Amino acid sequence: MAAVLAPPRPVRRVGGTGGTPVALLLLGTVIAVLALVPLLHVVQYAVTVDPAVAREQLFRPRMAMLLRNTIGLTMASVALGIVISVACAWLVVRTDLPGRKLWHVLLTAPLAVPAFVNGVGWISVTRAVEGFAGATLVVTLSYFPFIYLPVCAALRGLDPVHEEIAATAGLGRVQTFTRVVLPQLRPAILGGSLLVALHMFSEFGALKTLRFPTFTTAIYDQFNSTFNGPAAHLSASVLVLLCLAVLMLELRLRGRRRYARTSSGTPRGQRRSQLGRLRLPALLVPGTVVALALGVPGWSLVRWMVVGSSTGTGLDGLLPTAVTTVAYAGLGALVAVMLALPVAVLAVRHASLSSTVVERSTYTANALPGIVIALALVTVTLALAPGLYQTAIVLVAAYLIMFLSRAVVSVRASLEQAPPVLEQVAKSLGSGNLATTLRVTVPIVLPGIGAGAALVFIAICTELTATLLLAPTGTETLATEFWALSGGLEYGAAAPFALLMVLLSMPAVYLLSRSSGRTT
């Protein structure tokens, strides 16, 4: 009985014929080196610190408090995000929940609301969100879609035959879900949880607003208030170690397994579970999540525009700032998916130690605050190419370093569920590696490419700290204008910039909801 009910046996990755293409590995290495620039800068600076100073900084009580806060917030946010995402994804994809398509879009929409806007919105409603519990709630509501979206995609991609076998064997819905469905959702849950964890390590704006100290807020205080270089870089080094630990844990939990179908499977759609008398009460689950994630910050922004004393000021700069934001976000998203494709192909189709190192390298910068990444690029630029200082090239490079992992995760998730036999057939017919990639691989992973581009576009639209330091003189984005105005307590003037930031991100959010919910 157990053998019949077990999930399908994982399919081992199959490398390309003749091993890893040298050109692909070289390209991946160049991408990895770019992504590792901030890490190398932090390590180089940290090793030059006097050992006595290092011991004094690393073993003080405040460092232990920051470590406890950072790890605790990350674990709580990931756990809560998994619960919210799996519950909502199951209701939207696998049940007859009323308004499934609308709920799917609304549950994706929190990605369009920056965490620092969410934090300012909540803190203006109640001071009760200050501290651990409030920080966990706000950042989870901002980042849970990173888990929700891949879980939705995975639920739709699963072959229903295994659940039908479980049902005929007498298992109930709960047992079928825990023993058959949930194990197959593991790659999606792990990939999304990895992104959430890395964002927790580098989140600044929301946590600063909610007055919950972590390594990131401490690093900003050390750089901006006292310019304590050794303390800031040592704190950043601890964040890097935490990032490496999370990457290794995710890699170990993921294992060397895939869940790709080798054929199109049954052409009929999956049968939805009938909620019966629970159909209307079940609406409370996504309804509560949407109300907390979108309703509270949305109501705050509208209220500021109505009652704010500064409402109406600064509107002449709204359109030029929006054009600048879209231009940077579009360019960054395009380049990011172009760089993510070779990294994903290396990791999935040519699994090896070198390809794993290349892929994992794209994640490391996520553990570093934007100010550390920006200062690393300033240092490298002034040393190697001073003419590029404070140019758009350096700013776009910062965006790529920070957000490339979003594109890699999306493209990889799409590629992992695609059968490698199609590419092998193309190569057996004489197609070269590049031709196979363009004619076979790219069409297969097109949904992942679109999702990755949308994620990067949203991230750049809402990026704050690196833009403040690296933007060319006179260049402003919606995020930097909102932060400057809200920091000066001009909430009425800041609200239109936040609202426009959300509106510009919504098309990308809709694309994400479409790519992960075509049959929802």
pLDDT means per 10 residues in the chain (520 residues)? 41 47 88 90 80 79 90 95 93 88 91 88 87 94 92 77 60 63 80 87 86 87 66 79 83 63 48 78 93 92 78 78 94 94 86 87 79 84 88 93 88 75 66 68 77 88 86 88 80 86 85 63
> Does residue 155 lie within any of the structural domains?
yes
CB 380 within 8 Å of CB 401: no
**Cα distance between residue 301 and residue 106, in whole Å:** 18
Residue 25 belongs to a domain: yes
Contact 406, 198 (CB under 8 A): no
Tokens 């991230």, located at residue: 459
- CA dist., res. 517 & res. 107, Å (int): 11
CATH code for the domain in which residue 164 is found? 1.10.3720.10
Does residue 198 contact residue 73 with C-beta atoms inside 8 Å? no
pLDDT value at residue 421: 65
Nearest by Cα to 365 from 463, 450, 512, 509: 463
Residue 279 lies in a domain: no
pLDDT at position 265 is 46
What is the pLDDT at residue 474? 83
Domain assignment of residue 139, yes or no: yes
Residue partners of 186: CB distance under 8 A and separation at least 6: 253, 254
pLDDT confidence of residue 306: 80
Nearest Cα to Cα of residue 54 among 188, 230, 189: 230
Can you tell me the distance from the alpha carbon of 465 to that of 467, in angstroms, rounded to the nearest whole number?
5
| Residue type at position 371 | I
- Say what the pTM is: 0.77
Nearest residue to 263 via CA among 518, 11, 93: 11
Which residues form the domain of 362?
Answer: 14-259+300-515
Q: Which residues pair with 11 in a beta bridge?
A: 258
- Give the separation between CA 275 and CA 97, rounded to whole angstroms: 7
For the beta carbon of residue 364, count every other beta carbon within 10 angstroms: 23
Crossing angle for the helix pair 353-361 and 318-349, to the nearest 10 degrees: 170
CA distance 449 to 333: 10
Whether 181 maps to a domain, the answer reads: yes
How many domains are contained in the chain? 1
* Rg, Å, the chain Cα set: 23
273 lies in a domain?
Answer: no
**pLDDT at residue number 403:** 92
Question: According to the model, what pLDDT value does residue 229 have?
Answer: 63
SS3 assignment, position 109: helix
Helix (H, G, I), strand (E, B) or coil at 334: helix
CB-based contact 11:259 (threshold 8 Å): yes
pLDDT of amino acid 170: 57
The reported pLDDT for the residue numbered 280 is 87
Residue 270 covered by a domain: no
**Cα–Cα distance between 202 and 459 in angstroms, integer?**
13
Asked, for residue 430, whether it belongs to a domain, the answer is yes
